[in-house]
Amino acid sequence: MGRTGVVTPVIQIEPVTISGATINNVTGHNADYLESNGIGLGTRLRIIRSGEVIPKVDEVLSATLANIPKQCPECGSQLEREGVALVCHSDNCVAKLCRQKAHFFKVLEIKGFGPAAIEKLATVPLVHFFEQMDVNHYVGFGFGMQQSVNLNAAIQARKAKSVTPAKFLAAFGIDGLGESTAQKILDAMRLEDLLFSTPDDLTHIPCIGEVTAHSIAAGLQENLTTIKMLMDHFKFEAAREPESGALAGYKVVFSGKMELGSRKAIAELAKKHGADVLSSITAATTHLVCGANVGKAKTDKAEKLKVMVLSEENFMELIDG
Ligand SMILES: [Zn+2]
């Protein structure tokens, strides 16, 4: 099971020996795979060891009725179908909680929280580690005195050290929101704004597709309370100024009379921060910056092409971060 609760089905087979190794099961990939190949009780399969190591299904010789797992193998909760995958959504799934925590501690480089320790602490909400856990609490969970001191010290050390907002976000294990993607998004918007962004806001950011945008927005909503509470306990480094400028990848059109300077001066500023300045709105345009008296035809066209429309002030905020 993955940290987002996705369950990978395993196909149990009658044991066979291939190049000296006995094979009892092979991966079933996902629910869609089992269904479309008709893999269930009594299916005949040809198994190979790919690269002579990992056994896998090479061919389905005779399909049967697909047998899709209904319950989480770890907690017994009803599994839900999401696209091709099977997902355990139970908040009480210890396996899921453990994997989320393992990911969190690993990404944030908090030492000492190995698999055995995490299993003991599986049901402790993340916020508690930063707000109320002290040495005595760890002792209460069955840790020895020295280990309790070490675990508590590791959390305190994390609090004292700074972290980039991108790494902080990546620690929550949200599907599609790894550190580099988080950084790309945070180059375009502040952490506080990202937390309340819609999938639509996110698709305006270069290299975020629609599926990823939905996944990120949903994941942020699901973790919102925890993220907001934990933000108080982390010291954030100022957002990194990307080498190529805060507006790298932006294709901007300016329209109307600018109030904050001549249009030429503002366009120069945009270029200095890495944006391409275009003369008219096309499908390639990412942002339309509107001064005074912009014609409706222009804003309509921008809307139709899903170009983000900004006021001059919005635009300046992008540059200032
Ligand atoms: Zn479960």
As a whole number of angstroms, the distance between CA 84 and CA 90 comes to: 19
pLDDT at residue 142, as a whole number: 94
What averages of pLDDT result for each successive group of 10 residues across the chain (321 residues)? 77 91 91 94 91 86 92 88 86 84 95 91 94 95 96 96 95 94 90 91 87 94 94 83 70 88 84 85 89 88 89 84 61
User: What φ, ψ does residue 155 adopt, rounded to 5°?
Assistant: -70, -45
Distance, CA 195 to ligand 1 centroid (Å)?
A: 27
Here the ipTM equals: 0.97
Distance 184 CA to ligand 1 centre (A): 32
CA 96 – ligand 1 centroid, Å: 6
Residues, CB-to-ion distance under 5 Å, ligand 1: 72, 74-75, 77, 88, 90, 93
Position 60 scores a pLDDT of: 94
Distance 1 CA to ligand 1 centre (A): 9
Kindly give the distance from the C-alpha atom of residue 94 to the centroid of ligand 1, in angstroms, as a whole number. Answer: 7
**How does 281-314 read in b/e, with b if 16+ C-beta sit within 10 Å?**
beeebbbbbbbeebeeebbebbeeeebbebebee
SS3 191: helix
**Residue 170, pLDDT score:** 97
Q: How far is the CA of 101 from the centre of ligand 1 (A)?
A: 15
| Edge-to-edge strand ranges of the sheet holding 276-278 | 276-278, 251-255, 287-290, 308-311
Cα of 261 vs centre of ligand 1, distance in Å, is 58
Distances (CA, A) of 128 to 124, 132, 140, 214, 276: 7, 5, 14, 29, 46
Q: Is the dihedral of CA 28, 30, 36, 42 positive or negative?
A: positive
Long-range contacts of 64-69, Cβ-Cβ distance < 8 Å, separation of 24 or more: 64/38, 64/39, 64/40, 65/38, 65/40, 65/41, 66/34, 66/35, 66/37, 66/38, 66/39, 66/40, 67/34, 67/39, 67/40, 67/41, 68/9, 68/31, 68/34, 68/35, 69/7, 69/9
Residue 239: predicted pLDDT: 56
User: Would you state the pLDDT for residue 258?
Assistant: 86
- Span from the CA of 76 to the centroid of ligand 1 (angstroms): 6
- Write down the pLDDT at residue 11: 94
